[in-house]
Each structure stands twice: as structure tokens, then as C-alpha cells.
Amino acid sequence: MMKGAHFPAAAAAFALLALATIHLVSASDPSSLQDFCVALKPNETAVFVNGKVCKDPKLVTANDFFFFGLQNPGNTSGPLGSRVTPVNVEQIGGLNTLGISLARIDYAPYGLNPPHTHPRGSEILVVMEGTLLVGFVTSNPENRLITKVLNAGDVFVFPVGLIHFQFNIGKGKAVAFAGLSSQNPGLIIIANNVFGSTPPINLDVLTKAFQVDNNVVQYLQKQFWYDNN
């Protein structure tokens, strides 16, 4: 009887632990504890909250929640043939603590938004114009490519943290808009970060990791890794 009496308490504790674990795994940006927390630049006097300091709510205006310019195409003349125009907390202070952001991506013919990840946010992409080949790669051990050809009006989702890309396979330009589940989703462009880091990653590390000759790694490290943001 004594042992049995402890079982309900142990089961309840286990259930609470499981629920807490699920909550932590599924968490993204912190929930706001106030109507808004318009971000201020660090040199202005304010209270530090959720990674950005807050503007006095009495001084907030409509412009703190406004961005102008997404109607304008991005310059796609660079080597990648694409341009990302982000609208995150750096562009709209009112996004602070709200857990969302936006981006416009323009693609020249054959333009590429190269393999990259967003460590803090999932992405939902809607194609407004053109034809895009998109895809993401699942995590180890499968490393499976999930890929699709999208046309105007199509929507595709890239899960948080997974490597993904978009490639314009149409004959004309392409335009897409992306929503992200973070005010600051972050960006890791795989080639840039691996071969263009400062200081460079040790040559032996990259040679062994990619199983190629030293000359190949040295060649890649000497390239100019273009940032399309």
C-alpha cells in the first residue's frame, strides 16, 4: 500500500515534467507582457527588455509600427542574382517582443537565395511572381531533401533552423514575400560562414570535414562571399 500510494504523485510529477519539456522545445520568441515594447537604440535611456530596450509608451507614434519600401524591387545585379529586403525589429522598432518579421526577396533570372538557415525562426514563403525551385534538408541522420517547384500564389514552409534555398528557374524575374516567426530570426549563409569567417576556420578542419584537397579549401576561402541582404 505504501508504494502504491506514491504512484499517483510520481505519475503527476512525470506528466508535469513532460509538459514542461514540450513547452521548452516548442518555445520561440518570448511572449510580450505588455501591449508593446517599441525598440530603442542602445544609447537612449530606457528599460532593457527581451533583447531591446523599450521606448516610453507615451512617446510611441504610428511610425514606430511602420515601414515604407517593400513595393520597391531589390537590386539583383550582384553575383547571386537575388536581393533580400528584411523587415525585422531593426527596421520596425514596434516588432520588438512580437515574435514576427517579414522579408521581400527579388530574383533575377537564374537568381539564387543560397543555402542558409534562420536559427530563431520558421519561414513561410509566398511567391508573388515567377517560378522558384525551393527546398530544405532535414536533420541527421536522414539529411533528406524536401523540394518543390513553386509558381505565383504558391506557399511553402521552411522549418526553423533547417538549411533551405530558393532558385529562380523561370525565364523572367521572380518575387516572393516571407513571414518569419521571430522579430529577429537570424541568418547563417552556409558558404559565407564556413569559408568566409573572420578569422578563417583552420584549414585542416575544413579539409577533413569536406574531404577535399587543401587547395580546394584555400581557393574557397579566397573567394568574395557575397551577402544578398
- Alpha-carbon distances, residue 201 vs 9, 163, 205, 221 (angstroms): 52, 20, 7, 9
CATH of domain 29-186: 2.60.120.10
pLDDT band at 114 (very low <50, low <70, confident <90, very high): very high
2-57 pLDDT, tens digit each? 444 444 554 545 444 444 444 444 446 766 667 788 887 766 555 555 567 888 89
Choice between 101 and 28, residue whose per-residue pLDDT is larger: 101
CB 182 within 8 A of CB 118: yes
* CA dihedral for 159, 165, 170, 176, sign (positive or negative): positive
pLDDT at residue 35 in the model: 78
Please enumerate in sequence order all residues whose Cβ is within 8 A of that of 125, keeping only pairs 6 or more positions apart, or say none. 105, 134, 150, 155, 156, 157, 158, 166, 176, 177, 178
Q: What 8-state DSSP symbol labels residue 130?
A: S
Find cell 505565383 and name the residue.
152
Phi then psi for residue 103, to 5 deg, are -150, 150
3-state class of 176 per DSSP?
strand
**Alpha helices (runs of H) in the chain, residue ranges in sequence order:** 2-26, 190-195, 203-210, 214-221
pLDDT at 75 > cutoff 90: yes
- Alpha-carbon distances, residue 150 vs 56, 126, 144, 221 (angstroms): 44, 9, 19, 33
Tell me the whole-structure pTM to 2 decimals.
0.82
pLDDT at residue 216 in the model: 96
pLDDT band at 224 (very low <50, low <70, confident <90, very high): confident
143-169 pLDDT, tens digit each? 999 999 999 999 999 999 999 999 999
* Residue spans per domain, the chain: 29-186, 187-229
